[in-house]
Amino acid sequence: MCRVVAYYRVSTAKQGQSGLGLEAQRQAVLALCQSRGWEVIAEHTEVESGKVANRPQLTAALHRAKVTGSTLVVAKLDRLSRSVAFLSALQDSGTKFIAADMPEANELTVHIMAAVAQAERQAISRRTKEALGAARAAGRKLGNPNGAAALRRAGKGNAAAIAEVKAGADDYARDLAPVVADIRAAGKVSLGAIAAELNARHIQTRRGGKWHPSSVRNLLARLQSSVVV
């Protein structure tokens, strides 16, 4: 079953207090989820202009969707298209996204991001060819350590790859730090208890799996080494 984190936004305090607009958004999201058999695990409501970059509930919704492997759902596509901050946060987080009034927008977003990735790949390919051309012009033999293999390794070697993996794991641990702190504050401090609570909250491991005492131990060790909690 697909899990969903819902995000609702209105622009004025008056609308927020009266529920005007919010209830319609909520009904649109719930109707979509019910029609597809999706489970709404969290709802976040924001009373803020779409022009404002600092939107705490949006940040919280993106965080919850990220750590639970859920899809972020909003009622109307204009919650996305009118907000540069929303677009930037969504793209940076990598969170799956659907608008209830136009579900295919998710596919459109994927295509746009794929086009950007393709453009970057083409740019990398062009730079590599230019580097190889310069190497040839300098009289280098491309089969030796100064050739193509060396140029590729210079772009991204083993050390860089390892560092990137570690940075990704550290980032994910930081995402989970407040969740772990909340679980501990509730009196669940053993590895097994923390693992059970993470699973109960639908929070996945970085690789999308279930939590076990051993994976919790690794997480706590990473948090401690990063002085996060």
Q: Distance between CA atoms of 143 and 149, rounded to whole angstroms?
A: 8
35 is catalytic: no
User: Three-state SS string across the chain, please?
Assistant: CCEEEEEEEECCHHHHHHCCCHHHHHHHHHHHHHHHCCEEEEEEEEECCCCCCCCHHHHHHHHHHHHHCCEEEECCCHHHHCCHHHHHHHHHHCCEEEECCECCHHHHHHHHHHHHHHHHHHHHHHHHHHHHHHHHHCCCCCCCCCCHHHHHHHHCCHHHHHHHHHHHHHHHHHHHHHHHHHHHHCCCCCHHHHHHHHHHCCCCCCCCCCCCHHHHHHHHHHHHHCCCC
Residues with catalytic roles: 11
